[in-house]
């Protein structure tokens, strides 16, 4: 493909340099954004009489034809081209002649590539948002079905207090709600148009940047042309948001792996998302969850990569910035794959309530409730805490549990004890009594589910 930039250079770069310089292998995925951007550019130029109406019509029709042909595969992207912008312009000129050469008036690839990337990434924000909502739906359904399913809640991975499995699921839902919010906020900053900043300094043509931005669905325009062409904050920010999202998915994945293990057996993951071992026939490996956990590392790498690329870059555009795309595309592709697999995996897990209950019954997760009962009878919390600890130690030695300590034994520790203690340390009661807002009681979980579902509606 002939080079469109042979000004003072001869354009006889070595094949190696051409290949090194080229970004078409990864920027070709922005062909739609590039073409739509060019259509708007032609419309704007004509509205300001920089381009004739005739040329505009021929450019827009030519671009529409290229878009159509790329979509249905009759036109293949030529990987010898330098990038998607050059490729589209070249094909356009081949198809419509002179008018094609007028399209690049009052713009540069520097503002063009920033425009395309912003358009592409706002679409990614929308897709990721829709996929998060699918996971939220699965979490809300699981929570709804398990508002009364008792399991041990942990701190330090030590059994701590009883919680419902529904409450647990809602904890993850809250993280994802924040992720939705972050993406929405990020999209606001992505959706600012850089087109018309040109190479770096703006242009002498009487352009209408706001019209062009509006045609392309942008909320506003970048106010400084040098910043407009060199700003990649939006890509860093999106990867930051995706990294936090992946961190959430990774934590969830880790719990799914643990819970599906023989040691916990709290859930089983459906066969559709479980693999076997090539040597050990008994194995049910949670490979999908492990991959979600594993892929989190590469997304963090993508984020660090772009931050490092941008660090210390002088204004305005530098070729280094071509390195922005692969990482951010990879982060988006990766998180979308993870979300796509997580939603049906969650929707099809089997919750083994009996195993959760069994674990809840061991580990003295009602010890806090024992102390709280004494406090309600008038004892100070510190004294009650101490006595409860002594009773737990005694049970540990004897291999028994708080529920089976006889009343006369309890009374050796404090004469405040009466038979209502058994009701107070019943696990179901312990859970249901946690009625504080945001607590694990079924009523509180219902409120949380309602909040999640109102976002989904
Ligand atoms: N392929 C380039 C990129 O992705 C497009 C911008 C090139 N501009 C330039 N002046 N070389 O960043």
CB-based burial label for 85 (10 Å; 0-12, 13-18, 19+): buried
**pLDDT of 38 above 80:** yes
Domain ranges of the chain: 15-105, 110-200+223-357, 367-425
Q: Which pLDDT band, with edges at 50, 70 and 90, does 12 fall under? A: confident
Q: Which residues, other chains included, contact 181 with Cβ-Cβ below 8 Å and sequence gap of 6+?
A: none
- Specify the residue for token string 């643990």: 258
State the Cα–Cα distance between residues 143 and 446, nearest whole angstrom: 8
Over pLDDT 70: what percentage of the chain?
100
Average pLDDT over residues 34-55: 98
For ligand 1, which residues put their CB under 6 angstroms from it?
23, 27, 83, 109-110, 113, 317, 319, 321-322
| Helix orientation angle between 84-96 and 53-72, rounded to the nearest 10 degrees | 120
Q: Indicate the top mutation candidate among 28, 83, 231 to test ligand 1's pocket, ranked by most ligand atoms within 8 A of CB.
A: 83
Cα 217 to ligand 1 centre (Å) = 23
State the Cα–Cα distance between residues 347 and 132, nearest whole angstrom: 14
Length of the chain as a residue count: 457
Instruction: Tell me the CA distances in angstroms from 286 to 248, 262, 346, one per residue in order.
Output: 17, 12, 12
Rounded to the nearest angstrom, the gap between the alpha carbon of residue 124 and the centroid of all alpha carbons in its chain is 10
- What is the pLDDT at residue 297? 98
Q: Which pLDDT band, with edges at 50, 70 and 90, does 324 fall under? A: very high
User: H or E stretch including 268?
Assistant: strand 267-268
Q: Indicate the top mutation candidate among 226, 322, 326, 329 to test ligand 1's pocket, ranked by most ligand atoms within 8 A of CB.
A: 322
Q: Which CATH class is domain 15-105?
A: mainly alpha
CB 257, CB 290: distance < 8 Å: yes
Q: Which pLDDT band, with edges at 50, 70 and 90, does 455 fall under? A: very high
Cα 165 to ligand 1 centre (Å) = 51
Domain spanning 367-425 has what CATH number?
A: 1.10.40.30
Window from 15-29, 279-293, 331-345, 409-423 with minimum mean pLDDT: 279-293
- What is the pLDDT at residue 326? 98
Phi, psi angles (nearest 5°) of residue 312: 80, 5
pLDDT digits (tens, 9 = 90+) for 81-106: 999 999 999 999 999 999 999 999 99
Hey, which residues are catalytic here? 156, 277
**pLDDT of 149 above 80:** yes
State the Cα–Cα distance between residues 113 and 107, nearest whole angstrom: 11
Give just the sign of the alpha carbon dihedral 396, 402, 405, 411. Answer: positive
Q: Which pLDDT band, with edges at 50, 70 and 90, does 8 fall under? A: confident
Cα 109 to ligand 1 centre (Å) = 6
Cα 149 to ligand 1 centre (Å) = 56
**pLDDT of 264 above 80:** yes
pLDDT digits (tens, 9 = 90+) for 283-300: 889 999 999 999 999 999
Q: Which pLDDT band, with edges at 50, 70 and 90, does 355 fall under? A: very high
Written as one string, the DSSP assignment of 319-354 is: GGGGGHHHHHHHHHHHHHHHHHHHHHHHHTPEE-HH
CB 241, CB 182: distance < 8 Å: yes
CA nearest 63: which of 26, 104, 25, 22? 104
CB 109, CB 316: distance < 8 Å: no
CA nearest 453: which of 173, 245, 181, 252? 173
Q: Indicate the top mutation candidate among 1, 6, 110 to test ligand 1's pocket, ranked by most ligand atoms within 8 A of CB.
A: 110
Task: Write down the mean pLDDT value for the chain.
Answer: 96
Phi, psi angles (nearest 5°) of residue 153: -90, 150
CB-based burial label for 407 (10 Å; 0-12, 13-18, 19+): exposed
Beta-carbon count within 10 A of 419 CB: 8
**pLDDT of 280 above 90:** no
**pLDDT of 1 above 80:** no
**pLDDT of 2 above 80:** no
- What is the pLDDT at residue 171? 98
Q: Which pLDDT band, with edges at 50, 70 and 90, does 346 fall under? A: very high
Average pLDDT over residues 151-161: 96
CB 231, CB 222: distance < 8 Å: yes
Bond into 213 cis (ω within 30): no
Fold category of 110-200+223-357 in CATH: Fumarase C; Chain A, domain 2 (1.20.200)
């Amino acid at each position: 493909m002939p080079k469109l930039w042979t000004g003072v250079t001869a354009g006889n770069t070595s094949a190696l340099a051409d290949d090194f310089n080229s970004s078409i292998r990864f920027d070709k995925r922005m062909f739609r954004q590039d073409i739509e951007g060019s259509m708007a550019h032609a419309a704007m130029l004509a509205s300001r009489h920089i381009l004739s109406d005739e040329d505009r019509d021929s450019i827009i029709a030519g671009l529409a034809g290229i878009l159509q042909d790329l979509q249905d595969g009759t036109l293949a992207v030529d990987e010898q081209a330098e990038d998607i912008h050059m490729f589209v312009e070249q094909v356009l000129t081949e198809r419509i002649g002179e008018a094609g050469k007028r399209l690049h008036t009052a713009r540069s690839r520097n503002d063009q590539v920033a425009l395309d990337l912003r358009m592409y990434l706002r679409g990614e924000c929308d897709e990721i948002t829709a996929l998060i909502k699918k996971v939220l739906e699965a979490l809300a359904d699981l929570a709804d079905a398990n508002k009364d399913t008792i399991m041990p809640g942990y701190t330090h991975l030590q059994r701590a207090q009883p919680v419902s499995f529904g409450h647990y699921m809602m904890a993850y839902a809250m993280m994802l709600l924040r992720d939705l919010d972050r993406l929405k906020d990020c999209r606001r900053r992505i959706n600012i148009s850089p087109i018309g900043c040109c190479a770096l300094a703006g242009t002498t043509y009487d352009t209408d940047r706001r019209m062009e931005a509006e045609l392309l669905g942008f909320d506003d325009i970048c106010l400084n042309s040098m910043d407009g062409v060199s700003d990649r904050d939006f890509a860093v920010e999106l990867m930051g948001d995706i990294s936090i999202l992946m961190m959430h998915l990774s934590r969830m994945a880790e719990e799914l792996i643990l819970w599906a293990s023989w040691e916990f057996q709290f859930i089983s993951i459906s066969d559709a998302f479980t693999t076997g071992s090539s040597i050990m026939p008994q194995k049910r490996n949670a490979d999908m969850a492990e991959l979600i956990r594993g892929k989190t590392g590469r997304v963090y790498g993508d984020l660090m990569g772009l931050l490092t690329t941008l660090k210390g870059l002088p204004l305005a555009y530098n070729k280094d910035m071509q390195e922005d795309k692969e990482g951010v595309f990879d982060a988006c592709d990766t998180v979308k794959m993870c979300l796509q697999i997580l939603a049906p995996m969650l929707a099809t897990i089997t919750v083994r309530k009996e195993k959760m209950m069994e674990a809840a019954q061991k580990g003295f997760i009602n010890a806090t409730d024992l102390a709280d009962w004494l406090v309600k009878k008038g004892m100070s919390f510190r004294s009650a805490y101490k006595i409860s600890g002594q009773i737990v130690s005694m049970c540990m030695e004897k291999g028994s549990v708080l529920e089976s300590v006889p009343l006369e034994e309890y009374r050796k520790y404090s004469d405040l004890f009466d038979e209502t203690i058994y009701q107070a340390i019943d696990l179901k009661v312990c859970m249901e009594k946690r009625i504080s807002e945001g607590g694990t009681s079924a009523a509180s979980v219902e409120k949380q589910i309602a909040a999640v579902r109102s976002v989904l509606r």
